[in-house]
Chain A
C-alpha cells in the first residue's frame, strides 16, 4: 500500500471511529427514551444542534473554556428535559398507542426549534466552529490527527462505557431496564414507574446533548446537520432494534464507518440513501430490528 493510500485508509478509519461514536451516543439517547416511554424523539437532531450552538455561544461569545462549556451544556439539558417532561411528555404516559402522539409532538418541537435557530443563529453565521479542547497533533503512522479529535473520541467512548455500566449495574439503571421490559411487573416490584420515565427521558436527552457538544468540538457544523442527524439516529434505532442499547452502539459504529468510507469514495448523499434504504428494508421485513431485546 502506498503512502497516500495508507493515509486515506487511516483517515477513513479515524473519521469513522469519531463519527461512529457520536452517532452511537445520539442513537443510544434516542433508543433509551423510546425503549422506556415509547417516545420516538424526532427532535433529537435539533437537541443535538442546540447543544452544539449553546457550546458555540459559551466558548466563542462568552469566552468560557470548552471543557467547562461542555459540562455546562450537558447540565443545561437536565432542567430542559424535566421541564419538557412536566409540561408535555407526562400527559401521554397512559395513552395507548402513544408513540404516534409523541412522534408528532416531537415533530412540532422540531419545527419550533428550527424556526428559533433560523431566526437567531442562522442570521449570525452559516458555519460554526468551536475552539479545540486540547491543541497539538499526534502522528498515527503517517497520518497526522489533531489531539482534539482523539480527545473527543476518548470522551465519547468513555461516556458510552459509563452508560453501559449505569444501565447494567446501578440500581437506577436496573430500574429503567425493568420498566423497559415490563412496566406492570416493575411497578409491582416497587419501581416508581413515573420517576423512572422522567429519569430515562432526562438521561436520553443528556446523552444526545453530549453527542452534540462533542461533535461540535471535533468538527465545524451548520444548521442543516439537525435533520440529517434526526434521520440517521432513527435509522440506527430501527436497524439496531428499538430500545436496544447494544444494537444502537453497534449499528451506530457501522454507520460512522459507512459514512466515512462512502464520503471518501462517493458523496454523503449516497451514504444517506444507503441508510434510508437499509432502514426501509428493516422496517418492512424485521420491524423489531437486528438486536431486538
Chain B
C-alpha cells in the first residue's frame, strides 16, 4: 500500500476561508475599540465573542461529528468553577485557565463516553441527563460552588504589571480567543481529522469499516469541543464577575445549540453568524428576559420546522425534497 501523502500547507488549509477569516478578525479586533466609548455595548460584544467560541466548539461536535451534546454548558461550568476556585486559592488566572480548560476536556471525554454506544436521540437524552446531574452537582456541592446563590465578585485576571485586566484589554483577549477558536476549527475541518469526523457524522458504521477509528475520533472530537467550552467558561467567569448553576444549565446548552443550528451546522461561518445574531439578544432583552425565552423557543421550532440547514445552509444547499409519504392509506377510514 502506498501511503497517501497529505499536504500540510496551512495556506491550502485556509483556502476559501481566507477572506471571511480576515474580515472576521478585523471586525473582532476593531469592535472593542469602536465600542470603547460605551461600556455596556462593549460588554455585550465581549460576551458575544465568548459565545462565538462556544458555538464553534458545539459546531465541531454537532455540525461535524453529528453528536448533539446538551451537556456543553455544564462542561463550560466545570471549567469556570475550577478557575474561580483555583484563583480564589491564590493561583494566577493564566495558570488556572489551562487547568480549567483541561478539566473541562477530560470531563468531556468521560461524559462523552456514552456516545460510543448511543446514537441520535438516545445520546442527546443521555447528555441532557448528564447536564441535569452536573447542574444538580453545582447546586449540591455548595462548599465548592456556593450552591444556588452562586459566586459573585470574581476578581479580574491580572496583567503582567500586577494591574487588573479590565475594559478594552479584556475585550481584546476575548476577541483573540474567538478568532483563534475559528482558526482552529478551520484547520481541523480542512485536515484529515475533519474529513474523518464528517465521515463518522454521515455513517459511523461505514466509517468504521473503512478503517477509521470511530472510538478514537469521537473522543478527539469531544476533547477539542470541550476545550472550546472550557476556555470559554474560564474567560466567562471573571468577565461577568458572577457565576451560578443557572449560568450553565440546560437552557444555556440549548441556546448554544440554537446558535449553531440557526446559523447553519456543519459550516464554519454559520454558527459564528448565529452567535452574533443571538448572543446579544439575551442582554438587550435583559429587562424582558421572559420574552427572550419565548423568542428562543420560537426560533428553535422555526429552525427545526422551516430551515433544518440554518441560515448559511440555505445559501449553500438546495432544499431537499421531502420524502413521499410511506404508508398512508389512500382513503381515510375509521380505525378498526
Contacts and interface: CB of A to CB of B under 8 A. Distances in A.
B96 to A, nearest CB: 28
A279 B127 CA distance: 12
Contacts of A105: 300-301, 304-305
B327 A183 contact: yes
Contacts, number: 150
Interface in A147-200: 171-172, 175, 183-184, 187-196, 199
Interface string B317-336: 00000111111110011111
A283 B125 contact: yes
- How many chain B residues sit at the interface, stated as a range, is 35 or more
Contact of B296 (A88, A111, A187): A111
Given A283-B118, A284-B118, A112 B297 contact: yes
- Which secondary structure dominates chain A's binding surface? helix
B190 interface: no
A195 B332 contact: yes
- Which secondary structure dominates chain B's binding surface? helix
A246 interface: no
B68 interface: yes
A269 B136 contact: yes
B231 interface: no
B27 interface: no
Nearest to B117: A284
- How many chain A residues sit at the interface, stated as a range, is 35 or more
Contacts of B120: 97, 99-100
B235 to A, nearest CB: 26
A172 B136 CA distance: 42
Given A109-B301, A190-B336, A193-B327, A116 B296 contact: no
A234 B125 contact: yes
Given A171-B335, A194-B328, A88 B305 contact: yes
A118 B305 CA distance: 26
A70 B335 CA distance: 29
A108 B332 contact: no
24 contacts: A42-B128, A94-B324, A94-B325, A95-B323, A97-B121, A99-B121, A104-B300, A108-B301, A111-B251, A111-B293, A111-B297, A115-B293, A115-B294, A175-B336, A190-B329, A190-B336, A191-B336, A234-B128, A269-B140, A272-B132, A273-B133, A276-B133, A279-B129, A284-B118
What 3 pairs across the A-B complex have the smallest Cβ distances? A115-B293, A108-B300, A112-B297
Interface of B: 68, 114, 117-118, 120-122, 124-126, 128-130, 132-133, 136, 139-140, 251, 254, 257, 261, 289-294, 296-301, 304-305, 322-329, 332-336
